Amino acid sequence: MRGEPAKDTKRAIESAGGKAMFEVLDVASETEFDQVVGRVRDELGGIDVLINNAGVATAGTVEDSPLDQWQFVFNINFFGCVRGARAVIPVMKAQGGGHIVNIASFAGIANPPALASYNAAKAAVISLSETLRLELDGDHIGVTVACPSFFKTNLLETSRELAGPDAETAAPQMEKITDHRMSSAKITADDVAADIFDAVQRNRFLAITHPDAKQRYHLKRLAPELFFKAARKATAGFLKKS
């Protein structure tokens, strides 16, 4: 969908003396994953790190979200990670190791209301990552799952493009809240990338960049009922219709 930024990255890598490839990949296609992984392996000699980063945003309660919305977000956010992992695991095993990074979200841990299908897909990515970590540990393949909170990205814009004009993927109130929190976030995309880089270097499983999200993560683990009361108060506006 967004080839120019990827081409800019390719040019930046090459100007710094590196070697880069640019390939269009539909993460909903297992065949395309296999083809691209094969080309990368053949041209670059292997795959040290896979970052499953494709994602879309959806909003709505469990009651209000149609099933095709659930299928839409799971096909990209969750099954995209499954397809990516399945494509690279044989290559990484053959070369003696590697690292898989799955981009989830803190929404997969905290599960705010009115983001039902998005929460569930991101929670599934976290579960998938834990499973992969155990399955691949003996093959020297590390796994990291990134769970950032709000920071400025083009997630909402690309979600609208993918869904098309006739498919509502976000309720207006939720989109407004999400856009505001993303725009006002102090954590940047560079901060998130740096934390993921550190996690791969240290073979750290969980990457939660935002300090407040780390606090909420520990609160939920240690005092789940207290976390629920705090979350209910903090997210009351999420359920407003307009």
Residues with active-site annotation: 118
User: Is-contact 148 101, C-beta < 8 A?
Assistant: no
- Burial classification of residue 106, based on how many CB atoms lie within 10 Å of its CB (0-12 exposed, 13-18 middle, 19 or more buried): buried
Q: Name, in order, each residue with C-beta under 8 angstroms of 174's C-beta and a sequence gap of 6 or more.
A: 59, 60, 114, 115, 238
Specify burial of residue 143 (Cβ count, 10 A radius: 0-12, 13-18, 19+): buried
Q: CB-based burial of residue 215 (10 Å sphere; 0-12 exposed, 13-18 middle, 19+ buried)?
A: exposed
Joined tokens for residue 236:
């009351």
For the chain, give the number of residues: 242
Nearest to 108 by CA among 92, 127, 95: 127
